[in-house]
């Protein structure tokens, strides 16, 4: 097993989302690799937790990365789930068609696994947490 490609994957996902025009049309530049000290207003995207497992075999090292991308709204954004779900769909579309180039390793595949939509912060804000799986070959 190797944890070596995790930084390369995170950087590639972050850059790809920042450059996606459909997502930018919905959240602007409010895409965070590390959350700011104060939560932003409006709708925003944040990279979240990641679980990594060995995916190597007798021919090469590899890893499987299950990572979360969250779309959130601040409590000030009084609408329902429509805005946050639209941005979540844009994230999903962007990653499902992504041809990510990694600084280390080779992305063998990237798949959407699941999503969970819920109210947050005493019911005022909304969030969608999407889990994606990446398979990386390390040569």
Q: Give 46-93 pLDDT, tens digit per residue.
A: 999 999 998 887 787 889 999 999 999 876 666 678 899 999 999 999
What structural domains and CATH numbers belong to the chain? 6-137 (3.30.2000.30)
CB neighbour class for 12 (10 Å; exposed up to 12, middle 13-18, buried from 19):
buried
Q: How far apart are CA 1 and CA 62, in angstroms?
A: 7
What pLDDT sits at residue 39? 75
Give me the DSSP letters along 99-130: -PPPSSSEEEEEEEEEEEEEEETTTTEEEEEE
Q: Which two tokens stand for residue 70?
A: 């969250």
Q: How far apart are CA 61 and CA 108, in angstroms?
A: 12
CB 105 within 8 A of CB 31: no
- Residue 53: strand pairing partners: 64
Per-residue pLDDT reduced to its tens digit, 35-56 = 778 878 889 999 999 999 988 8
> 131: pLDDT confidence band, cut at 50, 70 and 90?
very high
Per-residue pLDDT reduced to its tens digit, 92-129 = 999 998 999 999 999 999 999 999 999 876 777 889 99
What pLDDT sits at residue 139? 76
Q: How far apart are CA 71 and CA 88, in angstroms?
A: 6
CB 87 within 8 A of CB 43: yes
What pLDDT sits at residue 78? 61
Mean pLDDT of 19-40: 90
> 15: pLDDT confidence band, cut at 50, 70 and 90?
very high
């Amino acid at each position: 097993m190797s944890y070596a490609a995790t930084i390369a994957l995170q950087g590639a996902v972050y850059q790809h989302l920042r450059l996606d025009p459909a997502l930018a049309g919905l959240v602007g530049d409010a895409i965070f690799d590390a959350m700011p000290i104060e939560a932003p207003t409006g709708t925003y995207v944040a990279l979240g937790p990641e679980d990594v497992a060995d995916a190597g075999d007798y021919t090469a090292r590899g890893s499987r990365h299950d990572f979360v991308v969250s779309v959130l709204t601040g409590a000030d954004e009084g609408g329902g789930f429509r805005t946050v779900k639209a941005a979540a769909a844009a994230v999903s579309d962007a990653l499902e068609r992504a041809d990510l180039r990694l600084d280390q390793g080779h992305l063998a595949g990237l798949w959407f696994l699941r999503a969970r939509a819920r109210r947050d912060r005493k019911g005022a804000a909304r969030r969608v947490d999407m889990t994606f799986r990446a398979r990386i070959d390390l040569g």
